[in-house]
């Protein structure tokens, strides 16, 4: 066996670490992370609803208008509904639909932009229980919203 002596390696030669491939790999990883990261700014949302650009409303003879105020009060036509529970609203909607055109009546929910979401959902659930399947929401046009 032929072994090399220590002097053949050279005592002054130190190992080198080539940093160029390492830097290339780090740059590729950095670019990948920069492109795949989403920068989301979470802040308080300030919403003003509802606003929509719609054409002039057509006359619908079979409409039942339910208004929900900002504090959750519900009015059926011009009459306030005392019982805001789902069964109470369903009974009031059933009576109004029977006096109107029956189940073909279109329920128009006109809710204030600051109305509690639960109040609107309660009106929708009451409409389902009353057999009213056609529901629409009233909104103001963006031109009239700017005037406020």
What is the predicted pLDDT for the residue at 31?
92
d(CA 71, CA 102): 30
Separation between Cα atoms, residue 76 and residue 100, nearest integer Å: 13
Would the pLDDT of 131 be above 90?
Answer: no
The domains of the chain are located at 63-147
* Angle, alpha carbons 76-143-54 (nearest 5°): 60
The listed CATH number (3.40.210, 1.10.730, 3.30.420, 2.60.40) that belongs to domain 63-147: 3.30.420
In whole numbers, what is the pLDDT of the chain averaged over residues? Answer: 77
For residue range 47-98, what is the model confidence (pLDDT) as tens digits? 566 666 655 555 545 788 888 888 888 888 878 888 888 898 888 888 877 7
- Three-state secondary-structure class, residue 137: strand
Count of C-beta atoms within a 10 Å radius of residue 67: 20
pLDDT of 28 reads 95
Please name the residues in contact with 72: beta carbons below 8 A apart, sequence gap of 6 or more. Answer: 84, 115, 116, 118, 119
């Amino acid at each position: 066996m032929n072994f090399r002596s220590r002097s053949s390696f050279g005592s002054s030669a130190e190992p080198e670490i080539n940093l160029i491939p390492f830097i290339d790999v780090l740059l590729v990883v950095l670019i990948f992370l920069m492109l795949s990261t989403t920068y989301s700014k979470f802040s308080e949302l300030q919403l003003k609803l509802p606003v929509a650009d719609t054409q002039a409303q057509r006359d619908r003879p079979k409409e039942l208008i339910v208004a929900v105020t900002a504090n959750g009060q519900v009015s059926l036509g011009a009459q306030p509904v005392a019982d805001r529970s789902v069964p109470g609203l369903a009974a009031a909607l059933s009576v109004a639909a029977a006096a109107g055109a029956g189940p073909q009546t279109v329920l128009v929910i006109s809710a204030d932009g600051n109305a509690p979401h639960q109040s609107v959902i309660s009106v929708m659930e009451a409409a389902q229980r009353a057999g009213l399947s056609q529901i629409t929401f009233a909104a103001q046009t963006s031109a009239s919203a700017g005037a406020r």
